[in-house]
């Protein structure tokens, strides 16, 4: 049980590190206010419906996230927030 908890903590940290890396990439492209949390919220928005996918899909979703996809997510979120 303790081992599973430690494995999950390590996995969470790895995912956070990947999101931080993607946020830094976006900042280098001029999107200076992107955070790791923003990246995770964008990437994981569909996981609530589908359930948490396997780790390889999460990694792919994070590293393949495009700025246009992220900006579309922000725009839709802003419209939803206005209602």
13-64 pLDDT per residue, tens = 999 999 999 999 999 999 999 999 999 999 999 898 888 899 999 999 999 9
Domains in the chain, number:
1
Residue 9: phi, psi to the nearest 5?
-60, -40
The pTM assigned to this predicted structure is 0.86
Sole residue written with tokens 């996809």: 69
- What span, in angstroms and rounded, lies between the C-alpha atoms of 24 and 4? 30
User: What's the pLDDT at 1?
Assistant: 61
Is the CB of residue 15 less than 8 Å from the CB of residue 62? yes
User: Which are the contacts of 74, defined by CB distance < 8 A and separation ≥ 6?
Assistant: 42
Token digits of residue 36: 């790791």
Residue 44: phi, psi to the nearest 5?
-90, 5
Query: Which residues constitute the domain of residue 34?
Result: 2-82
């Amino acid at each position: 049980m303790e081992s599973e908890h430690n494995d999950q903590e390590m996995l969470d940290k790895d995912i956070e590190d990947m999101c931080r890396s993607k946020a830094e990439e976006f900042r280098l492209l001029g999107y200076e206010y992107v955070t790791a949390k923003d990246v995770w919220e964008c990437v994981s928005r569909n996981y609530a419906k589908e359930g948490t996918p396997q780790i390889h899909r999460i990694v792919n979703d994070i590293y393949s996230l495009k700025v246009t996809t992220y900006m579309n997510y922000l725009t839709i979120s802003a419209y939803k927030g206005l209602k």
